[in-house]
Amino acid sequence: MIIKNNNTFHLQGKNISYVITVNEAGDLIHYHFGKKLADRDYSLKNEKLEYSLISYDENNIYLETAAQEYPAYGYTDLRTPAYKVRNKFGNSVSRLLFKDYSIMEDCVAEVEGMPCLFKGDKSAQTLEITLCDEAIGLDVVLSYTVFDEYDVILRSSRIINKSDEEMAVESAYSACVDFDKNDYDLVYFPGAWCREREFTRVSLNLGEKIDISNARGGSGHAMNPFVMVCERAANEKSGEVYGFSLIYSGNHSSLAECDQYGNVRVIQGLNPYEFQWNLESGEQFSTPQAVLSYSNCGFGGISRGMHDVYRNNLCRSSWADKNRPILINNWEGTYFDFNEEKLVDMAKKAKSVGVELFVLDDGWFGKRDDDLSSLGDWVVNKKKLPSGIKGLAEKINAEGLAFGLWFEPEMVNPDSDLYRKHPEWAIQVPNMKPSLCRHQLMLDLANDAVCDYIINAVGSILEDANVTYVKWDYNRMMNDMPFKGYNHKYILGLYRVFDTLTKKFPHVLFEGCASGGGRFDAGILAYSPQIWTSDNSDAVSRLKIQYSTSVCYPLSSISAHVTASPNHQLGRITPLKTRAEVAYAGIFGYELDITAMSDEECEEVKKQIEFYNKIKELVRTGDLYRLQSPYDSNYCGWQVVSKDKSEAFLFSCRILSQANFKDAAIRLDGLDAAKEYADAETGDVFGGDELMEKGIRPVYEKQDFSTFVKLYRAK
């Protein structure tokens, strides 16, 4: 609901309020974001908003410490601004004042050319506030959407050149929140290939400015576009926490600043590094959307809220709200060394244990037997696959499995027919040899002709063969960007490609991938409801990776496979049971040579699939509670409870075995205290209150990496 009361705009979500007011001088002031407030006229309290010991302007307004909605650079506020526009005089000083507003009922704001949340069957309203800097001819439209049943505020901004001259946008963040309180911690998710999204928490101290950003082209392994600020005492279960998630897949920045007075500002949006967008008179620039969330139930509260929003209102795929097929991918099973017979054998065996989808990974096209060549040439290698993709898909279908295919469409190898024909299609700068990474170059998606080539190349295969799943990979960072703002132009091209292909092939399940989880962001999730979480498939490493990925992103997006032991990335030996039980908390599959597994192992796999089939709807749609953190204990535990609280899946891993040690009971969460729950395996009955207050004592094997799962059903 959006309430306008004199100079105050009050956005109310399910349990939250976001209050904006206009002060006497016309500055747009941030008043409150947090727990729901009553409907009152908050503008009365803002007659003299900010006082300073230093100086005043004629209106007694000094913005240095004022909480603002979209702060400018220069006019008495010297903190990091939400935008910077270089005007015709060559400076970036600006002041925006309130001009106009409109409230749109039943409306979720959209951003042209970029993914954003949609309304679906929810009730939502959008407020647009237009601010104006008359001196330089600049309008900025701030957009706020609130859903009645969520605790999120969706923000974006539009910068419009109203002057007669060209102006240059040098930075344009999507959202800014100036908090009135201080003593906050910042939580963010840095990482690297095979070590994605490490849960990291630091204190925000006086005078500190922490830029959580990435400028590597994609949203990146190195830093995820999701951050939280929280009370120092906040934890998994309690305390005030604010989440900031950007729906964007390119260079991003979330900047947290604690000024000399302890005021905390968080801004999130495009990374201003190497960014510039020139606007001719009358032109406008739109930012991506940022999703701001609030919970006073700790990080777990933020997660459950974000999971609902991203599961229901982000991905437009017909697969978004369906159970996904259990797949087997041949990558770690064969790498590039396969032929048709081998693949069909794998599919046959996989079918016998209950797998539903066979995915052919890298190496099926051009003359690609290693990673040195052929990216760009999306034509089947008939030496390996004489029946072609169409024929292979038919053979796999005949075995009773659906068929899926890997592509890396944004890339080209110098050793490819595409590069020989169109060397100018690779991203490059004049007079410099473009830099290689994994022997490949990136295609210039800022060029429409290149995007059309990709749409046609991928599209013609999907038209020709019965391919119902696509793994869309992206395996290098972006260098050699030819001009400032290039990265954003590229991402707009990428979104056009995704939009066209996903609309043209609505029956295809797309899975995102970028050397594992190098582009695990809400922009990609808008097109593909699941993403390969990490190239590190070791079950023990996955505890941390999946734990921290789940803070923002739902389990329905976290692709998790059982792979061989010893693990290929780090050599660790883990039981098959552990590997599967860790992977249950996501979109489950296998990625190994199933033809090399013993009958005994295949029997175990069959049972694992039977078990996953029992919980997959619950995992995909339920509420997640993280119970034990692998970041600060020898355990990792989580639990998923169905929305109606009739079922709960519990997982726990004791990472290293300990002699003569009593493992603590695990207290469940989110159950109905008044209900009785039966252990689906033993039939033992417990009270919901008993499971949550007394807890249950886990039974681990006498070995490292021992896992423990339970399924409880309400009686």
Closest approach, Cβ 539 to ligand GLA, in A, equals 17
DSSP lists the bridge partners of residue 312 as: none
Q: With contact defined as beta carbons under 8 Å apart, do 666 and 695 qualify?
A: yes
**Would you call the peptide bond into 566 cis, given omega within 30 degrees of 0 as the criterion?**
yes
Interactions with ligand GLA, residue window 58-117 (CB under 6 A): none
Which residue, 122 or 568, is less far from ligand GLA as judged by CB? Answer: 568
CA dihedral 192, 196, 200, 206 (to 10 degrees): 50
Q: Does 513 bind ligand GLA (CB under 6 A)?
A: yes
Q: Does 225 bind ligand GLA (CB under 6 A)?
A: no
DSSP lists the bridge partners of residue 161 as: 138
Closest approach, Cβ 532 to ligand GLA, in A, equals 6
Closest approach, Cβ 583 to ligand GLA, in A, equals 15
Which residue, 292 or 494, is less far from ligand GLA as judged by CB? Answer: 494
Which residue, 511 or 581, is less far from ligand GLA as judged by CB? Answer: 511
Other beta carbons within 10 angstroms of residue 119's beta carbon come to 15
Which residue, 515 or 621, is less far from ligand GLA as judged by CB? Answer: 515
Which residue, 475 or 628, is less far from ligand GLA as judged by CB? Answer: 475
Closest approach, Cβ 406 to ligand GLA, in A, equals 6
Interactions with ligand GLA, residue window 473-502 (CB under 6 A): 473, 475
Tokens encoding 10: 């009050």
User: How far is it, in rounded angstroms, from Cα 31 to Cα 37?
Assistant: 11
Which residue, 362 or 377, is less far from ligand GLA as judged by CB? Answer: 362
Which of these ranges, 4-12, 126-134, 510-518, 545-553, lies near ligand GLA under the rule CB under 6 A?
A: 510-518
Interactions with ligand GLA, residue window 526-585 (CB under 6 A): 532, 535
Of 226, 319, 331, 705, the residue at the interface with ligand GLA (CB under 6 A) is 331
Helix H or strand E encompassing 243 = strand 241-246
User: How far is it, in rounded angstroms, from Cα 154 to Cα 144?
Assistant: 5
Please give the biggest Cα pair distance in the chain: 84
DSSP helix/strand/coil, 194: coil
Closest approach, Cβ 405 to ligand GLA, in A, equals 11
Q: Does 516 bind ligand GLA (CB under 6 A)?
A: yes
Cα-Cα-Cα-Cα dihedral sign, residues 607, 608, 612, 615: positive
Which of these ranges, 230-238, 273-281, 512-520, 645-653, lies near ligand GLA under the rule CB under 6 A?
A: 512-520
Helix H or strand E encompassing 609 = helix 599-621
Q: Does 8 bind ligand GLA (CB under 6 A)?
A: no
Which of these ranges, 312-320, 377-385, 509-517, 565-573, lies near ligand GLA under the rule CB under 6 A?
A: 509-517
Q: Does 590 bind ligand GLA (CB under 6 A)?
A: no
Tokens encoding 625: 């509670």
Q: With contact defined as beta carbons under 8 Å apart, do 514 and 442 qualify?
A: no
Q: Does 515 bind ligand GLA (CB under 6 A)?
A: yes
Interactions with ligand GLA, residue window 382-411 (CB under 6 A): 406
- Going by C-alpha positions, the residue among 178, 85, 176, 177 that lies closest to residue 133 is 85
Q: Does 139 bind ligand GLA (CB under 6 A)?
A: no
Q: Does 361 bind ligand GLA (CB under 6 A)?
A: yes
Which residue, 379 or 714, is less far from ligand GLA as judged by CB? Answer: 379
Closest approach, Cβ 694 to ligand GLA, in A, equals 43
Which residue, 289 or 536, is less far from ligand GLA as judged by CB? Answer: 536
Residue 457 backbone phi and psi in degrees, to 5: -65, -50
Catalytic machinery residues: 473, 535
Closest approach, Cβ 377 to ligand GLA, in A, equals 15
Other beta carbons within 10 angstroms of residue 553's beta carbon come to 27
Closest approach, Cβ 668 to ligand GLA, in A, equals 34
Q: Does 258 bind ligand GLA (CB under 6 A)?
A: no
| Binding residues for ligand GLA, total number by CB under 6 A | 11
Residue 666 backbone phi and psi in degrees, to 5: -105, 125
Strands 558-563 and 587-591: parallel
Which residue, 245 or 330, is less far from ligand GLA as judged by CB? Answer: 330
Q: Does 520 bind ligand GLA (CB under 6 A)?
A: no
User: How far is it, in rounded angstroms, from Cα 32 to Cα 682?
Assistant: 50
Q: What DSSP assignment string belongs to 639-706? A: EEE-TTSSEEEEEEEESS--TT--PPPBPP-S--TTSEEEETTT--EEEHHHHHHT-B-----SSTTE
Q: Which residue has the tokens 């576009």?
A: 225
Q: Does 356 bind ligand GLA (CB under 6 A)?
A: no
Q: Which residue has the tokens 């989880």?
A: 517
List of residues contacting ligand GLA (CB under 6 A): 331, 361-362, 406, 473, 475, 513, 515-516, 532, 535
